[in-house]
Amino acid sequence: MKPEVAEILFNANTAAAVFSQYNQDHVDRIVKAVYHVAFDNRIILAEMAVEETGLGRLEDKVMKNVVASQMVYYNIRNQKTVGIISEDEDKGIIEIAQPLGPIFAIIPITNPTSTAIYKILISLKTRNPIIVHPHRRAAKCTIEAARICYEAAMNEDAPEDCIQWVTDFSREDTQQVMAHNHVALILATGGSGLVNAAYSSGTPAIGVGAGNVPVFIDKSADVDYAIKEILESKLFDNGTICASEQAVVIQKDMEEKVKESFKKHGAYIMNADEIEKVSKVAFNQEKQAMNGDIVGKSAQFIAEHAGLNIPIDTKLLLAQLRDVGENVPLSSEILAPILALYIEDDFDKAVNRCIELNFYGGVGHTASIYSNNDDVIKQFSLLMNAGRIVVNMPSSQGAVGLTSKLDPSLTLGCGTGGKNITTDNITAKHLLNIQRIARRRDDFLFVRFDKKKYFDNNYSAEMLDKEFYSNI
């Protein structure tokens, strides 16, 4: 292990020992100071991110920084994360919050400053030092976000090295850190390679899965409203949020109305030849993954590289497809202003298509529905394997908690379907070890009844139930 890597790990472990002694009031002062500086620098950090990565849109990068700073802070500010956090006199159980230890935070190129801010805030709130690992093509802006947060934390007498960042890490360096016993948890938000490496490191990890998000527009929905909201979501930072819609599914008798609305709101409906051309530049068939060169780019940029001649005011490329799978590239997750459209004969076929899309690279993540029929919403939700069912709102903003009351977060769990431990929006509560003080109970059947009965073959569960319920 390189000396500089060993030093980072040693410093993080030392900071963890110091941080564990802080009280709630001191922790909250640190977190508030970091929130303030992150929010106050939301625009300059967004400008740096756009300039360095060439991805997304400035105004949306600003809003991502708002979610990561203001909304995350307001969500966690009153949370107890130190000492006794709950007492249940009836059960005789007291819960105590303890920090995990140093956290290794992988930051994606798509949200290079906002994800850093968000992970720093939830780590500091739980007294966990954090080591920030930026994407190599976004290192400057991510490190600047970490730096200003660290300075603000130190102004409130935070532990030295409670926030660190790494530069020029090789793959071997990263793997060594992830597997080191000084690292308590890996927060892995990024490409599948790094996320899989985190899970295989032997260190506990919270990661994310892919989000091939289907959106179903029911007959009861306001179609024009739905299309407007879908575009607002898909165009948000040029589609770089993994909860953005990937395919719209409708019934056949809605086709004309839906297509007219898409056109009105700036979508360009591609023909078969254009779909093939865009597929070649948007998707790498050999790797079976989206092409990183078009991630976060505009519809005009993608069309130009695909050789399409489209109207100057086009905001989104729409591809009407019939199938889902490896031979249909645009049925996959594409983090750019490209959207698939499926037209099905009836409700059952439409929902089945959503399920098919969900299982093709988006299990456990997010699904979206526009409907004014509660029964339809419930039926749809029961059939989808998604951690978030976003109703009548833009999926990107709804899933991260901007337009919904879900916990504001830039790491969205996908449950076991997405090979994650939870379907939650990851926040401070996931970065705590909870101790439980348990007192003896004297009201349980095992304590109050003759234990010899348990060794009598003639003593059945039915007899036990009758005796138990007659005594409560």
Question: In which band, very low, low, confident or very high, does the pLDDT at 469 lie, cut at 50, 70 and 90?
Answer: confident
| Residue 242 appears among annotated catalytic residues | yes
**How many angstroms separate the CA atoms of 463 and 301, rounded?**
74
Alpha-carbon 144 to chain mean position:
22
pLDDT at 31: 98
User: Domain residues of the chain, as ranges?
Assistant: 3-207+426-433, 213-405
Quote the Cα angle for 134-138-143, to 5°: 55
β-pair partners for 283: 290
Q: What gap in Å lies between CA 147 and CA 169, rounded to an integer? A: 18
Cα dihedral 157, 160, 166, 167 sign: positive
- Mean pLDDT confidence for 268-291: 94
Sign of torsion, CA 358 364 368 374? positive
| Residue pair 326/279 in contact by the 8 Å Cβ criterion | no
Question: Average pLDDT in the 171-193 region?
Answer: 91
Reduce the DSSP state of residue 264 to 3 states and report it. Answer: helix
229's CB contacts (< 8 A; 6+ apart) are 370, 392, 393, 394
pLDDT in tens, 330-369: 999 999 999 999 999 999 999 999 999 999 989 999 999 9
Predicted confidence at residue 446, as pLDDT, reads 58
Query: Does 227 have pLDDT greater than 90?
Result: yes
* Separation of alpha carbons 141 and 51, rounded Å: 9
pLDDT given for residue 466 in this prediction: 85
- Mean model confidence pLDDT for the chain: 94
The CA–CA distances, whole Å, from 61 to 42, 44, 57, 304 equal 8, 10, 6, 24
Distance (Å, whole) CA 230 – CA 216: 11
Q: How confident is the model at residue 382 (pLDDT cuts 50, 70, 90)?
A: very high
- Regarding beta strands 338-344 and 245-251, do their DSSP bridges make them parallel or antiparallel, or are they unpaired? parallel
Q: Which of 149, 242, 354, 414 is catalytic?
A: 242
Structurally, at CATH architecture level, domain 3-207+426-433 sits in: 3-Layer(aba) Sandwich (3.40)
Strand extents, DSSP E, 198-320: 205-206, 213-217, 245-251, 267-269, 283-284, 289-290, 316-320
Give 213-405's CATH code, choosing from 3.40.50.720, 3.40.50.300, 3.40.1190.10, 3.40.309.10: 3.40.309.10
Q: Which residue has the tokens 């994407």?
A: 135
